[in-house]
Amino acid sequence: MENNYNIERTYEEYKRGNFKFLGPIAFIVYIALSFVDMGLTETSLWLLLSVRFFFILPTIFLSLNVEKIKVLSVDQLIFTSFFFAGIGISIISYLLGGLSSDYYFGILIISFVQFAFAPMSFKMTLILDITLFLIFFCINTLPFNYPTEEIIKQASNYITFIVLKLLTVHRSKSLIMSAIVKVDLEKELENQKHVQKVLGELCHLFNNPLFISMSLIKKLKSEKGFSDENIGKLERVLDSNERMRLVLRKMLDITEKKSKVNIEDLTQ
């Protein structure tokens, strides 16, 4: 259970780091595209810049403060950011002429960037895409009285992309989580190897003086002139040393077999 918690936390940190990195880049690109918009319409550049700037502000603010904001989850921060960015794209599309401008590709780009760089849960992704779909097509179709065929054609392109995207969301998370688990296991194995190496060195360090001590005690026991009381004390010391020798032997067996260290094995 604790290991799963660590993996989920690592995944959250991965998303948090991606979102923090993406924010400034998205801000620059989002604003710079105003000059492209200007070439597609006679709308004032300042109006286009103002709309884009206003709706990208949440992204830059949340990404720069993502480490400080503890109340909301990373998915909620990502959702809020792309929700406002999507509304901005919908309004720009309206200013460029609505659905006839084919600017729905801007929503596709927003959706793709979210999927590729700031992944969310399947549920949050579905809610975001459906919300942006409804907002975009309401703003860009209702006021212009487009033929039904035109609306269906443009909407089907968007829906097809979203369906394919949602089919890969779960799979992509599985791949990312598998990579995190692999890295986590590699770190654990590396730590285990380090522990085994230290144990092996300690065993050899204590084993030599212990062998000398036991040899001296046995030699003293064999000599004459010791009282029964002193011989009993030497035997107790020898027994203690023997128990320590067995523990060291078990520790050496563990390190030589390269198996996982278990304290219970050392106390049996």
Q: Give me the domain span that covers residue 34.
A: 2-146
Query: Residue 19 and residue 118: Cα distance in Å, rounded?
Result: 6
Q: Please give the mean pLDDT across all residues of the chain.
A: 77
Average the pLDDT over each of 115-129, 149-163, 228-242 and give the range with the smallest value. Answer: 228-242
pLDDT band at 104 (very low <50, low <70, confident <90, very high): confident
Q: What's the domain count of the chain?
A: 2
pLDDT, average across residues 85-105: 84
33 with 95, same domain: the answer is yes
**Is the pLDDT reported for residue 252 higher than 60?**
yes
Q: Are residues 137 and 191 in the same domain?
A: no
Structure tokens at 74: 């990373």
pLDDT higher for 142 or 170?
Answer: 142
197 and 262 co-located in one domain: yes
Where does the pLDDT of residue 267 fall: very low under 50, low under 70, confident under 90, or very high at 90 and above? very low
> Please, which pLDDT band fits residue 144 given cuts at 50, 70 and 90?
confident
Q: Quick one: average pLDDT of 28-42?
A: 83
What mean pLDDT do residues 24-45 have? 84
pTM of the model as a whole = 0.63
Same domain for 13 and 108, yes or no, is: yes
Average pLDDT over residues 127-144: 87
User: 3-state secondary structure string, the chain?
Assistant: CHHHHHHHHHHHHHHHHHHHHHHHHHHHHHHHCHHHHHHHCCCCHHHHHHHHHHHHHHHHHHHHCCCCCCCCCHHHHHHHHHHHHHHHHHHHHHHCCHHHHCCHHHHHHHHHHHHHHCCCCHHHHHHHHHHHHHHHHHHHHHHHCCCHHHHHHHHHHHHHHHHHHHHHHHHHHHHHHHHHHHHHHHHHHHHHHHHHHHHHHHHHHHHHHHHHHHHHHHHHHHCCCCCHHHHHHHHHHHHHHHHHHHHHHHHHHHHHHCCCCCHHHHHC
> Are residues 100 and 193 located together in one domain of the fold?
no
* Residues 20 and 115 occupy one common structural domain: yes
Report pLDDT digits (tens) over 37-86. Answer: 887 777 788 888 899 999 999 999 988 888 887 767 888 999 999 999 99
pLDDT value of position 87: 93
Token pair belonging to 144: 């212009």
Same structural domain for residues 129 and 7?
A: yes
Q: Is the pLDDT of residue 184 over 70?
A: no
